[in-house]
Chains A and B, each alone.
Chain A
């Protein structure tokens, strides 16, 4: 079964900087979702982008999807200490199954 691969595995930035993480995958998808997980807690849905969409925004989040390159990126602008978390991309395949990657761990220092 396929799953997304996030890059980088870990990211350390200062408050106010932008954080960018990428997700690559191998087969066709119905949609791609991004989730955030604070340490040891449940995942929280951030944004869903459908396969026929190229870009979506939600507050300080910007997600792009390039189906020709089979990749997506999540940009967090003007990061805050509260953005410290792990971020996961999840692919919905043609069967409706959600497959998660291993995540990008983001640390934002004041």
Chain B
């Protein structure tokens, strides 16, 4: 089954404790991205990757890091989480090019206390 998986699905952590949210897709997609969703703000892109070893900032990259060492994986790293990073996070992937739908993971609900 074609899918994007994320782990963990729920995470409660404390300020400053480094964490990683994993994302994996099995569709051989070149393009992957991370979004955060906050009430009333829709989805905002954090980082994206056009292919292996090619990453770039989205609209809200501050406080986040990513890496793309393999085509299927695109982890999101919070080196020192803060309460304002409490949010619902989504990983997504699609084929390269403009006219392709994005496939979304199930989401990771992160709470930073």
Contact = CB atoms under 8 A, between A and B. Distances in A.
Nearest to A46: B101
B99 A48 contact: yes
Contacts of B41: 102
Contact of B42 (A42, A88, A96): A88
A31 B97 CA distance: 11
B106 A41 contact: yes
Interface string A73-110: 00000000000000010101000111111110000000
A84 B61 CA distance: 32
A73 B33 CA distance: 26
A3 interface: yes
B45 interface: yes
Given A30-B99, A33-B101, A97 B45 contact: yes
A44 B98 contact: no
A96 B56 CA distance: 13
B19 to A, nearest CB: 20
B109 A42 contact: no
Interface of A: 1, 3, 30-31, 33, 35, 40-45, 48, 50, 88, 90, 92, 96-103
Given A3-B42, A96-B98, A101-B42, 20 more contacts: A30-B98, A40-B88, A40-B109, A41-B107, A42-B90, A42-B106, A43-B43, A43-B92, A43-B102, A45-B101, A50-B99, A96-B97, A97-B48, A97-B58, A98-B45, A99-B45, A100-B44, A102-B40, A102-B41, A102-B42
